Amino acid sequence: MSGLWPVQALTSYHLTRRCFRQERSVTQVKKYIALRFVYIIFVFLIISLLMFMLYNQIPTDPARMELEPVRRELKPAEYQELYLRLREQLGLDDPLLMRYGRWMGILPEKNGSWNGLLQGNFGYSNFYKKPVIDVIPEPMFNTVFINIFATIMALGITIPLGIRTAVKKNTRFDGTVQVISVVGYSVPVFIISLVFIYFFAVIFRIFPVMGMKTPGTNYTGLRFVVDRLYYLALPLIVLTFASLGGMTRYVRAAMIESLSMDYVRTARAKGLREKTVIYSHAWRNALLPVITVVIGWFIGIFSGSVIIENTFSLNGMGKLYIDGLNNLDYELVLAMQMFYTIISLVGILITDLSYGLVDPRVRVNK
């Protein structure tokens, strides 16, 4: 027995026990994360193998496809020479598993070097004729630039709007927002884009129709940002408008459920201010279902919007992906898919961990 007072001793015991529990909890979380990472690696390898096999099962000859446009300009000997050379360069004559091994970096190249995905080589774009790693940065930068603004704008509008419509449930305000959000949710983004272009770019000439910068300029610094934002304003407005409906309705539904709970009634009965009831009690509890979608949105900042990018002539990831598929540029597409696989798997892990942060009831099992 130590020389401490019994209460102090008891407190110390509880503190030690809590610390021990916390330590155990941290260890468990670390173990859980480590296990999830092993799972991520395993799933990644399985998906990579499946995707590689899938693309290579498509009955096409990339060498022939590449030479098709210039076929008439080549004599038979020239064609055959080029064709065979291309097949060799593309490694089309090797067995599929060997090609996978080389692509992944678990088998050496013909010259004995190790140069695959695991070594940081994302492959070679057969369409752009340069390494994939040199093709992706600009579209990725543009996509992230657009999506960060679009996500912040959309969340900044939809969360307060969703909360307000839930609080003002069945009022005229709620009804109006419901109708607008259903329209925004239902109308294809392509149509929204064209309507917005017609009014804001062609009729009122507020924004440009397309492109990413003032033609012929080479702005830097703040002027670059301002010019870029001016050109991206309309696509951002369209993206935000198109995403308003879904998120607003999602937040509204979560809030309505939360507001009907007993703890909200209790909080009101205690005489708490309505704002405190809504934001500290109801909203925090409504966050759990919403957070999955919100994290999904932030993970989605790496994914481009095919329709928006094509309509506004933006050089982004969605367009690059579709172009890659159309051009049968499989190494480019595979690299992008592997990137998105990693992002998705890590995103799921972050979502799972965030549940624990938001809701104390959700914890890693002992």
Positions touching another protein (CB under 8 A) are: 58-61, 64-65, 68-83, 85, 89, 127-130, 138, 141-142, 190, 194, 197-198, 201-202, 205, 208-213, 215-216, 218, 310-313, 315, 323, 328
Nearer to another protein, 227 or 352 (CB): 227
The distance of closest approach from Cβ of residue 159 to another protein in the complex, given in angstroms and rounded to an integer, is 31
User: Could you give phi then psi for residue 116, rounded to 5 degrees?
Assistant: -120, -165
The distance of closest approach from Cβ of residue 120 to another protein in the complex, given in angstroms and rounded to an integer, is 17
Separation between Cα atoms, residue 364 and residue 345, nearest integer Å: 18
The distance of closest approach from Cβ of residue 137 to another protein in the complex, given in angstroms and rounded to an integer, is 8
Nearer to another protein, 69 or 360 (CB): 69
Nearer to another protein, 75 or 361 (CB): 75
The distance of closest approach from Cβ of residue 88 to another protein in the complex, given in angstroms and rounded to an integer, is 11
The distance of closest approach from Cβ of residue 183 to another protein in the complex, given in angstroms and rounded to an integer, is 21
The distance of closest approach from Cβ of residue 111 to another protein in the complex, given in angstroms and rounded to an integer, is 11
Nearer to another protein, 212 or 348 (CB): 212
Q: Largest Cα–Cα distance of the chain, in whole Å?
A: 100
Tokens of 82: 């080029």
Dihedral, CA of residue 27, residue 28, residue 29 and residue 34, to nearest 10:
90
Nearer to another protein, 36 or 64 (CB): 64
Nearer to another protein, 129 or 270 (CB): 129
The distance of closest approach from Cβ of residue 207 to another protein in the complex, given in angstroms and rounded to an integer, is 10
Nearer to another protein, 1 or 77 (CB): 77
Separation between Cα atoms, residue 182 and residue 174, nearest integer Å: 12
Nearer to another protein, 250 or 321 (CB): 321
The distance of closest approach from Cβ of residue 244 to another protein in the complex, given in angstroms and rounded to an integer, is 23
Residues 6+ apart with CB under 8 A from 58: 328, 330
Nearer to another protein, 285 or 311 (CB): 311
The distance of closest approach from Cβ of residue 300 to another protein in the complex, given in angstroms and rounded to an integer, is 20
Separation between Cα atoms, residue 51 and residue 329, nearest integer Å: 14
